[in-house]
Structure 1
Amino acid sequence: MGDSTLIQGRYRLLERIGRGGMGEVWRARDESLGRRVAVKCLKPLGTGHDHSFTRVLRERFRREARVAAALQHRGVTVVHDFGESDGVLFLVMELLEGRDLSRLLEDNKHHPLPVPDVVDIGEQVASALAYTHEQGIVHRDLKPANIVRLADGTVKICDFGIARLGHDVGFTARLTGTGIAMGTPHYMSPEQIGGDDVDRRSDLYSLGCVLYEIATGVPPFDLDDAWAILVGHRDTEPEPPRTHRAELPAYLDRIILDLLAKRPDQRPDDARELGRRITAGRTAPAYAPAVPAPRTRMPEPVGGRAALPSWTHGMTTGHKATGTGLRSTPPDPAAGLSGEWIPRPAGDEAAAPAPAPDERPDPAPEEAAALAGRHSAGVNLGRLGRWEEALALHRAVAAERERLLGPDHPDTLASRYEVAFTLSRTGYAADALRAYKRVAEARIRVLGTDHADTLAVRQEMAYALGRLGRHADAHQVYTSVLAARERVMGADHPDTLRCRHNLAFNLGRLGRPEDAHRMAREVAAARARVLGPEHPDTLVTRYEVAYELSRLDRWQEALVTYREVAEARESALGPDHPDTLAARYEMGISLGRLGRSTEALALYQELIDDRTRAQGPEHPETLRARHGLGVNLGRLGRWEEALAESREVCAIRERVLGPDHPDTLVSRREVAVGLGWLGRWAAALTEYRRVAAARERVLGPDHPDTLAGRDDEAHCLEQLGRGAEAVELYRRVAVQRGAGAR
């Protein structure tokens, strides 16, 4: 085929824009509709195949093309038409005006992509894979060249259907007659290399390879010998991406390594779970460094190359994209958040024996013991903060216990409870709430409404409601559980006090700081009496007392309480423990609010050094301390220094957290404040507008933070002498506030 060829009297080929193992891609014009399209022409198979094989291939092509054409998702390339012309099979697809990831890396001189771009690409591809996998379609050849990013930022996966066709013909997991495999060794899953059946989790492994490369600049196994690459995928644990690029967020490092697990059952369950994990990490990054999980070491190959399937011998490397090598501390009270929810101790089940409702035979003792051991292992993984691994293990144990013991057996419900608990601690509050509800209904039915386990799961339901912002609903559940705990266990039982602490916290979120402060003081006194004045639970409640004092503008009392908590935590936990550092940070806020900015400045300087040593220079909490330093430099009138500090923190936050993250926007606003104090109002207006636009995009036009940003913008216009524009903007904000209040 050549330039100006007309296919089926309709599609005119204009320019070849790509060539691959199975054919060519042409820029073309649909003469019937007058639109630009892309036409992929598959290479003829040649004379080596008999007519019956060719006939079967054509039928499979038509079937797979119909499947591809039926896919309707913004992340999947649209297939318009398909057919055969002069013995050549072809697909007509939307013409993508963008660059594939291979080209993006090449244009970036083989440097990794910015972190926000990596996260955004991963999130969009996960969404597209979730959709296609739910349609029963596995791509089988996911690689940078098959992922295109359009000019508007939309990411699309190409070649669905083509990859499946290649598999049917025998390209994907075997050599062609030329000795070149379809698919590139750099992105093939271990099961694909072994010639085993592949499912959606093979695509997830390939996506892990892609994310690894665009995040670090090199594939996970960057070797020149194809066989060595295949052995690497099968037998060698990849180096963590952060060893190549320390600035990568810990959650992203963990996700990529989980995608690259050797066994499919060790990877995320599906692409939708992967998408949730990316979203949770992007919107609420973990403040504690991730604990590296031990990776399973696969058996060493025996007998050299013979350990791999024969089809891999002589395989070339092909093309790769480049050629070169929880617990969080409480956030700033100024943001309206404080303290922490207090979960029950992980694994504290106190399950009373109860008969299973069905008459299943008891499992063998060794089988029950093995499940109990795996259950405990999941609990311990949670204690170490390795929640994703804990979730996978608890799900597996729950399914096995349900099969052996029945859905309402206490052991099954204990595992279901742990699944919900782990979902809650990994940011999936809505999923956790649904799971808790099912466990609560079963426990009420089997154990009764006042059983300790029933109350425990209902209390966790309230926790999940709070995380979802449904504080009024959470209040009702906490109040009901507290009444039952006091009736059954007594007012001073640790579980009763835990419930009262959470109720106090929730009162604060309901805008009742006086009630929250009163109840928190009562709980702190009771915990000191029952558990001791320096017990971690006592100190957590005293921390909450201090926060409610700050909300009541009783800053001197808040400072004294925070200082006492910090000293006690340093004695019990050590000076570098996150809880100790969190209390010291709150001391700095209190000092600043009291006008003692010189003291606050000294405290923040020490805290930055300690945070950097303990958690790293780009950890979100280190940056939060640096933000506090900049604020107090401004309060002392040192605006040039304050502006420089704010700009640097803003740049790091934008790179690490993303341009629209709340912390980034807080820093950008601080840059604008500094510019304003230095009389540079035009530059300040630009920054204020960026903040307001981002908040409107993320939070909506009527959100209080968005409206506050518009107020800042109007004030800036006023300072620039643009009074009419300022008045109009003030009026618009007032109308929106009034509409929101109704």
Structure 2
Amino acid sequence: MGDTRLLQGRYRLEEVIGRGGMGEVWRATDEALGRRVAVKRLKPPGPRHDRDFVTVLRERFRREARVAAALQHRGITVVHDFGESEGQLYLVMELLEGRNLSQLLEANAQHPLPVHDVVDIAEQVADALVHTHRQGIVHRDLKPANIMRLDDGTVKICDFGIARLGGDIGFTSRLTGTGIAMGTPHYMSPEQISGGPVDHRSDLYSLGCVLYEIATGAPPFDLDDPWAILVGHRDTPPEPLRNRRAELPESFERAVLDLLAKTPDDRPTDAADLRRRITGARPAPTAVLDAPFPLAPAHPTAPRLPSWTRGMTTGHKAVGAVLPHMISPPGPVAGLTGEWTAPTAAATSAPVPSTGPRGTARPPSGRVADPAPPQALAHLADRHGAALGLGRLGRWEEAAEAHGAVADERERVLGPDHRDTLTSRYEAGYALSRTGRDAEALRQFVRAAEGRTRVLGPDHPGTLAAREETAYALGRLGRHVEAHGLYTAVLDSRTRVMGADHPDTLRCRHDLAISLGRLGRPEEAYRAACDVAAARARLLGPEHPETLACYREVAAGLGRLGRWTEALAAYRHVAEARDRVLGATHPDALASRDDEARCLRRLGRHTEAVELYRRLAERRGGGGGRGGGGSDGQGGGDRTWRTGADACYEGP
């Protein structure tokens, strides 16, 4: 008999990291590519399951594979493979390290999350939904257990098992007819409850419920009776969030309450609209409440609800009694939902390198650092959040000083290799690099990378991020050979662990193309830029900001090769697309027009160049002609600013 732990001769199953009534999730190794993955398997049905139930369950599983595989976005769990082995369906996914929002709330003693974390989660989920809804896909089951926050802060949506592709009504009807609940009571939209038409705005309502819960500590209708919960969603206005937590920004409260409008037309138009509103609600961090406020009662009358709701139970909401089987230790997990549970402690116990009890880091001397008072750790977390807020406001000098001070203090109380210390080192390096203090940034990134290698391992996403930033800093300092070698090593790891088309792998491929140009290898740089631009266009869309950054590097490559007429056309394409997507006064759009003007000068078309510089000065409010606009990072606001990293053209 063959090895039952080797699936399809490729996936080596190592240990169960999650288990539910109908399946289990394994930590595994893809032996063909040498990368760690999660394998989700559907158990064979037992005699108590009727045929219709099993048929629909299997179709849900297939649906999850098809839908998730079609979505390529940083905020969505990556699906690598799907198949059937000896009658068991299986799904191969990226192995995630972190916890879902339900587990984060439980770990926070049932208190709401810090305000700055809530806003960051809201922004990232909205970004992922923009992509999902543009593909015509409605998730239909957004809830805290389906949203993961990784150790590096990335937020991912998981489990598309009951997602609906646009216009796919037949499958929805079959599911409803089986009596299998389409969603979770605490997070269902009124139109889902009533059995009416469901579109992307139903996901926005569910997201409103999730944000309400992580911001206040309880869902908007926190009742034990599922019938009362459903009636609340349909008929009862939610209590304002600031009644429960006064430090929440008013703009954030208004955005969430608008998401919870009873009729879809009264909600934000789409996730992009929500993203813009959430961005304006960034607060300074504040302390969490000691206890949630009382909740509003359900509506006194209970009109008739659909028959399929009769047998529903509330399930486990994110905040509530913590059952032993719900406790999940930190570490790699797949995107689990519903009844999926963590493994027993015996199944996951393993020593963490270089750490002492309760996650305290072991100093180089081998002595375990003295545990810090909880109040001191909370104060450091608030200072860390405040420093992040300074960065979001563009106050990078202040952010760099604040992150450096927090890093030093965390090292003193937690040890140099504690994850929080290393996070502060990384953020300090990032802020320093935004101010042009590249040598200081390099020192911080090196410390973060070395520490994460010891604690997390060389292939952990956090380690790879720190190593890639180290390479970036080396390039900024003119140490291009060292930068290229490090980019190559990071790319090899990212490809092996995450796959060639993962957004982080593509970013590293982009950076490597830039480094090739700086090493004087223009043909290789141009081909590499073309390859990554094509991949990003396919996965993210031709006018996604990261795709446009790649097209800009393609234009730079054409210039290095002396193909100036083609370079001008490419720069114009990027400039026009950025005007449409980002707005004509966005720093990246201004920089692209600056590229265009420089290319015109290189072609001897000086009159056109002067006219373009004049229009640029008007756009900048009279701020002058030739200066670069901060493109791809010198003035951009998001964390992808380095992907085009002053690699534009090294022209005249």
With normalisation by structure 2, the TM-score equals 0.49
Which has more helix, going by share of residues? 1
Larger-Rg structure? 1
